[in-house]
Amino acid sequence: MSGSPSHAFYPDRALFHGVVPHVMGTKLEALLLGAPERESLSLWERWCAEAQRLDAMLDRFDASSEVSRLNAASDSGEILPSRELLAMIRVCEDFRVRTRGLFDITRGTCGEGLQIGAGGSVSLNGGSLDFGGFAKGYFLQECKRMLAEAGIGTAYVDFGGSSILALGHHPFGESWRIRVTHPFSGRVLQDVDLVDQSLSTSGNRPSYRDHIVDPRTGRTVSALRIVTVLTADPLEAEILSTAAMIAEGEELAFLKKNFELSEINRFDV
């Protein structure tokens, strides 16, 4: 975690505001409303610890992470991931099948590298794992679960501006309004009103291009394109925004038809 977490509490509004400048490659910011300061702080500290833990597990650029260690053993036959990582891999495999290969956490094998053994072993067959289109959604899913357990119904969690969980509504409005802008020109593409929903935005940006790879071909998606997915489940939103960036022709219609999405939009910018 780069940069210390900070927080403030405003008792007149029962508003808690927390910020981590850099974790899991981006900024984490949260607003919690209606809960006592101690309860909000406790939840925020758990989130900070969880984000750091997931970062240490899933960062493929960190040689000490579990994912990096598995990738380093890619040519060694069957390897045994931890129970939690195996569960993540199974979820991702389910989405790979359901998206017809548009979403795939494997790299370097064009969608044919990953095999899961009956005993929970994994074979990468020379490929590698990349949870970049999964991790933030998984974290937000955990945040949503913890909020429900704590009985907090109004919260806004923003992970890098591209992965958002919004419960309840803004204290001065009927929703949480998000503005999606053109990453190169700054013009407004869409205003989204969130109430008890999640929003994921995916696309190429001036400082971050060629990071999305079509797993079926191994080629990067260079199109100047922005995708927004709005749905109740933050993990599903995260995964499907990546899949929709890759989809062509009837594939985008297939995603819209086969997943219970509130909204999916693609802007060729």
Q: Taking the domains of the chain in order of start, what are their residue ranges?
A: 62-129
pLDDT in tens, 111-159: 566 889 988 999 998 889 999 999 999 999 999 999 999 999 999 999 9
For residue 239, the model assigns a pLDDT of 97
Report the interhelical angle of 234-246 vs 83-98 (nearest 10°): 50
Q: How far apart are CA 196 and CA 90, in angstroms?
A: 27
> What is the separation of C-alpha 137 from the centre of its chain, rounded to a whole number of angstroms?
3
pLDDT in tens, 32-63: 999 999 999 999 999 999 999 999 999 999 99
- What letter does residue 168 receive in the DSSP assignment? S
For residue 209, the model assigns a pLDDT of 66
The pLDDT of 172-180, averaged and rounded, is: 94
pLDDT in tens, 221-247: 877 889 999 999 999 999 999 999 999
Burial string for 120-144 (b: 16+ CB within 10 Å, else e) reads: eebbbeebbbbbbbbbbbbbbbbbb
pLDDT higher for 234 or 107? Answer: 234
Query: End-to-end CA distance of the chain, in Å?
Result: 33
Structure confidence at residue 107 as a pLDDT band (50, 70, 90): confident
Asked whether the predicted pLDDT for residue 259 surpasses 70, the reply is: yes
The dihedral of CA 168, 145, 243, 94: what is its sign?
Answer: negative
- 82: how many CB neighbours lie within 10 A of its CB? 12
Q: How far apart are CA 48 and CA 139, in angstroms?
A: 10
- 260: how many CB neighbours lie within 10 A of its CB? 8
Q: Answer for the pair 211, 198: CB distance below 8 angstroms, yes or no.
A: no
Three-state SS string over 237-256 comes to HHHHHHHHHHCCCHHHHHHH
- 237: how many CB neighbours lie within 10 A of its CB? 30
